[in-house]
Amino acid sequence: MRPREFDHDDVLRIAFDQFWRNGVRGASMSDIARDTGVQRGSLYNAFGSKEALFLQAYERYAGDYLAALQKALGAGSLRKRLTAFFDLTVTNFRSGTPPRGCPTTRGLMELGAAEGEGLDEDARQAFAGLISRITALVQDTLSAGAERGEFNGNPAAAALHIITVTRGLAVLERAFGDEPQLRKIAAHTIDLLLGRTGG
Amino acid sequence: MRPREFDHDDVLRIAFDQFWRNGVRGASMSDIARDTGVQRGSLYNAFGSKEALFLQAYERYAGDYLAALQKALGAGSLRKRLTAFFDLTVTNFRSGTPPRGCPTTRGLMELGAAEGEGLDEDARQAFAGLISRITALVQDTLSAGAERGEFNGNPAAAALHIITVTRGLAVLERAFGDEPQLRKIAAHTIDLLLGRTGG
DNA sequence: CATGTTTTTGACAGCATGTCAAATATCTAC
DNA sequence: GTAGATATTTGACATGCTGTCAAAAACATG
């Protein structure tokens, strides 16, 4: 066999940065080839297609991001946990120069048809999978908070509400790019769920 | 002069349907040419570019949609108004076969760079403009409700919260296509803002 | 009926994804 | 050490996209 001349993980990292900054459709295989120093044909040989390359790169990101969220949700009062969760979310959306937004939300809205039909069903499942896992983390945190008497509502409904707000923040970030506004909305959401005082 | 062989408005309607179903990037000028019966070159002659065609088609849609929202927000108790608002929102996202989702949210997430740089700054402003106008409508409704004693919170903050949730609903619609779930989230949002009982 | 102006039409350039055959470089077996 | 097998690299190609342009066509106006 002839050995590969590039590092698999390096390519995934560099490719994902391209996808994140320019979108899956906006990033071209030529761009990725230029940035990685790997020729376009080699990328196709190694990954099969642009979508397959994206999926691998996305799974890498999803794992890292989920771990960071889990850590943010894991310490302090419920209010502190949720605050850390939203902080990390907004910071993630606003990372990069210029800010890159939310890759999950962007990827989701870039898809072809709706669920069921659609060629990029694999991508949709990857995006939906991360959202579901984040929702589960939040719900667990709320349930634990409820047992400690820090929250008295429906953890499932509240988690769904929170994930909805985070997706909305991703959209407003693209519309207005107003980071203080995003943080105000996040704080307001926590107040709505836990009450304005103490919590 | 030679007269135009097609109806300007017909083309805008048909083109927007293409954009709505397949996204701005996903819909090709060839598709629109086929559906309208107007040759590709004629479309470029009449509208200049795909983005310019989209912008005109989008403004048409935005005007109609805003009028429908205004009507939904204009009658009954505050709770009824907000319920009608969310109903219309979700129904709009789920219209078409297969459901077409939210064209504003999709268009926004399809854009190139973030605010400031980016070539499609005109499109971003069109999307942000509709979102801002909807937010203003909701805020007015909440303010009026507050004067009538139906709401005692901050109308500006609550309106921002509501618009954030609607953007989140647009994203979750693409992720899961679960319409009952969307309606539950909407109802829960109203309960959070107005209180679970009466309102 | 002739002239002028706009629309229409078809061909072209440039860039995208994806495919493929040929060339290349290493590993393995002897 | 050498020869063969095998996977990677490389460049050319097909196809589809946006956008441009010059030539042809069709109507309005004098």
CB B115 within 8 A of CB B124: yes
Q: Look at residue A70 and give its three-state secondary structure.
A: helix
Percent of chain A with pLDDT over 90: 88
> Is A12 a domain residue?
no
Q: How far is CA A51 from CA A56, A117, B22, B112, in A?
A: 9, 17, 18, 19
Per-residue pLDDT band for B113 (boundaries 50, 70, 90) equals low
In this complex, do B171 and A175 lie within 8 Å of one another by their Cβ atoms?
A: no
What is the pLDDT, as a whole number, of residue B118?
Answer: 46
Counting every residue written for chain A, the total comes to: 199
Hey, what are B28's tokens? 């090709």
What is the pLDDT, as a whole number, of residue A196?
Answer: 81
Q: What average pLDDT score do residues A3-31 get?
A: 93
Residues of A in contact with B170 (CB under 8 A): 109, 167, 171
Distance from CA of residue A182 to its chain's centroid?
Answer: 16
Q: Best interface-test mutation with A: which of B109, B110, B127 has the largest number of A CBs within 10 A?
A: B109
Nearest nt to the A42 alpha carbon by C1': D9
Average model confidence (pLDDT) for chain B? 93
Per-residue pLDDT band for A142 (boundaries 50, 70, 90) equals very high
Q: Which residue in the block uniquely carries the two structure tokens 């989920």?
A: A66
Separation of A4 CA and D2 C1' (Å): 24
Per-residue pLDDT band for B198 (boundaries 50, 70, 90) equals low
Q: What average pLDDT score do residues B138-162 get?
A: 97
> Is B30 a domain residue?
no
Per-residue pLDDT band for B11 (boundaries 50, 70, 90) equals very high
Q: What average pLDDT score do residues A18-34 get?
A: 94
Q: Inform me whether the pLDDT recorded for A188 exceeds 80.
A: yes
Q: Is the peptide bond before A98 cis (omega within 30 degrees of 0)?
A: yes
CB-CB neighbours of B154 under 10 Å: 14
Residues of A in contact with B177 (CB under 8 A): 114-116
CB B199 within 8 A of CB B79: yes
What is the pLDDT, as a whole number, of residue B78?
Answer: 97
Distance between CA atoms of residues B29 and B13, nearest Å: 14
In this complex, do A164 and B170 lie within 8 Å of one another by their Cβ atoms?
A: no
> Is B87 a domain residue?
yes
> Is A122 a domain residue?
yes
Of B25, B105, B115, the CB nearest to A25: B25
> Is B181 a domain residue?
yes
Per-residue pLDDT band for A118 (boundaries 50, 70, 90) equals very low
Range of the domain at B175: 57-194
Question: Which of A7, A6, A9, A135 shows the shortest CA–CA distance to A61?
Answer: A9
> Is A33 a domain residue?
no
Percent of chain A with pLDDT over 70: 95
Q: What average pLDDT score do residues A107-122 get?
A: 71
The domain total for chain B is 1
Q: Look at residue A79 and give its three-state secondary structure.
A: helix
CA distance B45 to chain A (A): 26
pLDDT digits (tens, 9 = 90+) for A39-54: 999 999 999 999 999 9
CB B188 within 8 A of CB A161: yes
Distance between CA atoms of residues A132 and A7, nearest Å: 31
Hey, what are A134's tokens? 């984040």
SS3 letters for chain B?
CCCCCCCHHHHHHHHHHHHHHHCCCCCCHHHHHHHHCCCHHHHHHHHCCHHHHHHHHHHHHHHHHHHHHHHHCCCCCHHHHHHHHHHHHHHHHCCCCCCCCCHHHHHHHHCCCCCCCCCCHHHHHHHHHHHHHHHHHHHHHHHHHHHCCCCCCCHHHHHHHHHHHHHHHHHHHHHHCCHHHHHHHHHHHHHHHHCCCCC
Per-residue pLDDT band for A198 (boundaries 50, 70, 90) equals low
> Is B38 a domain residue?
no
Distance between CA atoms of residues A66 and A116, nearest Å: 26
Question: Which of A139, A195, A186 shows the shortest CA–CA distance to B195?
Answer: A195
> Is A52 a domain residue?
no
| Domain of residue A91, CATH code | 1.10.357.10
